Amino acid sequence: MVALFRRRCPAPPLIRALLSLGLMSIASTVRAQGSVAYPTMETLREVQLAALACARENTSDTCRQARKLADPLMDHPRLPGGCKDTLWAITQTAKPASSNTLARRDAIGDPAGRLLLVCRSSEKPVSGKSDTEKPQKEPSFFDRIFGRGGGDKN
C-alpha cells in the first residue's frame, strides 16, 4: 500500500510543461499590451479638427466623422481617464442639431479645445545623452591667468 503512494506518476512533467507554455503565452500577451503605441499628436489633432468642423458646420457628415475618429480612442489602453472623458464628451455632443446655437458650438468646441492638453503623453522623449553627463564649464579669464580651473600651469 505504501508503495502506491511513493510511486511517481508520469503526468506531472507533462502538466508542468503545459503550464509553463500557458504562462509564457500569458506573459507575451501582457508584454504586447504594454507595447501599444501612444496615439500621435497628429491623430489627436485630427479628432480635434473634426469636432471643431462639426461644431462649425452642423452637418451629419462632419459630426459622424468626429465620432468615428474619437470612438476607437475610447478603448485605447494607454490613454488616461481625463482624456477618455474628453473624448466621451465629444462623442456625446458631436451630433447635428436643427439650430446651430452658440451653446451647441461651445459644448462641442470646449472639449475639442482641451483634447490636446489633456491627452498629451506624460512620457519623456528618449534622447541620446544621459542625464549624468554635465557639460564642462569654460574656465573664466581670471581662472586661466592665475592657474585655477585648468588653465596654463607653467
Let me know if residue 146 belongs to a domain: no
Let me know if residue 140 belongs to a domain: no
Q: Which domain holds residue 67?
A: 41-118
Does residue 111 contact residue 51 with C-beta atoms inside 8 Å?
Answer: yes
Task: Tell me: pLDDT of 151 over 50.
Answer: no
Let me know if residue 71 belongs to a domain: yes
Let me know if residue 53 belongs to a domain: yes
Distances (CA, A) of 11 to 15, 18, 137, 138: 6, 11, 69, 72
What is the C-alpha separation between 65 and 71, in angstroms, rounded? 10
Write the pLDDT tens digit of every residue in 7-54: 555 556 666 665 565 656 555 554 555 578 999 999 999 999 999 999
Total structural domains within the chain:
1
> What is the mean pLDDT of the segment spanning 108-126?
87
